[in-house]
């Protein structure tokens, strides 16, 4: 049976959702973030980097969400959540890599610049504020504007990132879109808000949330 090493308030929520959409049996080993929001050292006993998500299955240890999604689809998916059309299937593969490779670094930088001034001693806070403001203006805001427009254009016709129905692409992109709507300026986008509302309304998403515990992507 698949074991999900699940860190609270983390991207491993997507793995639980995928498993629920596929109707697969799995078990959860829970880990709690420390007061500084880092993963606990116990996760290093599962994978050397000590990060989540990680799954174990049939003697294998698999890390990185995209690799986990690929493994689960290849091993247990039976073609589900993978578009039959070649073009849409290639789009799905693109989004599997894009979500972590392109979207999340920019969102993480947004989080860092928003929190940096409050994390440094008061004497240097004005300097930190200026650094953060410069990064926001020159890198973060222009980058997010381009990426959010790209997401909207990709969702506009069908409401999904690859093809005409929910696929693994939407599961992978759920975390970036949720984070962007919550804290990165996408809250005014009707298209992105609609996407978040529709995935949150899915029974499988709600079952994953119930099993995984509170999930605060804000």
* pLDDT at 82 (0 to 100): 98
Predicted pLDDT at 217: 61
Which two structure tokens, joined as six digits, stand for 136?
């926001």
Nearest partner of 22 among 88, 76, 96, judged by Cα = 76
SS3 annotation, 107-172: HHHHHHHHHHHHHCCHHHHHHHHHHHHHHHHHHHHHHHHHHHHHHHHHHHCCCCCCCCCCCHHHHH
Show pLDDT as tens, one digit a residue, over the chain (218 residues): 999 999 887 889 999 999 999 999 999 999 988 887 788 899 999 999 998 999 999 999 999 999 999 999 999 999 999 999 999 999 999 999 999 999 999 998 888 888 777 777 877 887 778 876 877 878 888 999 999 999 999 999 999 999 999 999 999 999 999 999 988 677 789 999 999 999 999 999 999 999 998 777 64
Q: What pTM was estimated for this model as a whole?
A: 0.92
How far apart CA 158 and CA 187 sit, in angstroms, is 20
* Tokens encoding 50: 């000590």
Instruction: Provide the pLDDT for residue 117.
Output: 77
State residue 48's pLDDT score: 95
Report the pLDDT value the prediction gives residue 10, as an integer from 0 to 100. Answer: 84
Q: How far is CA 181 from CA 13, 14, 207, in A?
A: 17, 17, 22
Distance CA 204, CA 75 (A): 20
pLDDT of residue 164: 97
Residue 177 is predicted with a pLDDT of: 96
């Amino acid at each position: 049976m698949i074991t999900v090493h699940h860190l609270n308030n983390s991207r491993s929520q997507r793995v639980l959702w995928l498993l629920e959409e596929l109707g697969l049996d799995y078990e959860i080993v829970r880990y709690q973030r420390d007061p500084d929001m880092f993963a606990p050292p116990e996760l290093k006993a599962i994978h050397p980097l000590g990060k989540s998500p990680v799954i174990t299955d049939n003697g294998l240890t698999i890390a990185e969400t995209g690799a986990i999604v690929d493994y689960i689809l290849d091993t247990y998916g039976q073609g589900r959540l993978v578009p039959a059309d070649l073009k849409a299937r290639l789009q799905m593969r693109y989004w599997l890599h894009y979500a972590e490779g392109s979207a999340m670094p920019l969102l993480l930088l947004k989080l860092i610049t928003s929190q940096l001034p409050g994390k440094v001693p008061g004497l240097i806070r004005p300097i930190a504020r200026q650094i953060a403001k410069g990064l926001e203006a020159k890198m973060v805001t222009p980058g997010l504007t381009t990426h959010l427009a790209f997401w909207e254009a990709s969702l506009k016709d069908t409401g999904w990132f690859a093809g005409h129905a929910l696929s693994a692409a939407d599961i992978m992109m759920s975390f970036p879109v949720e984070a962007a709507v919550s804290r990165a300026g996408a809250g005014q986008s009707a298209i992105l808000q609609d996407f978040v509302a529709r995935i949150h309304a899915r029974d499988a998403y709600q079952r994953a949330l119930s099993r995984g515990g509170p999930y605060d992507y804000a």
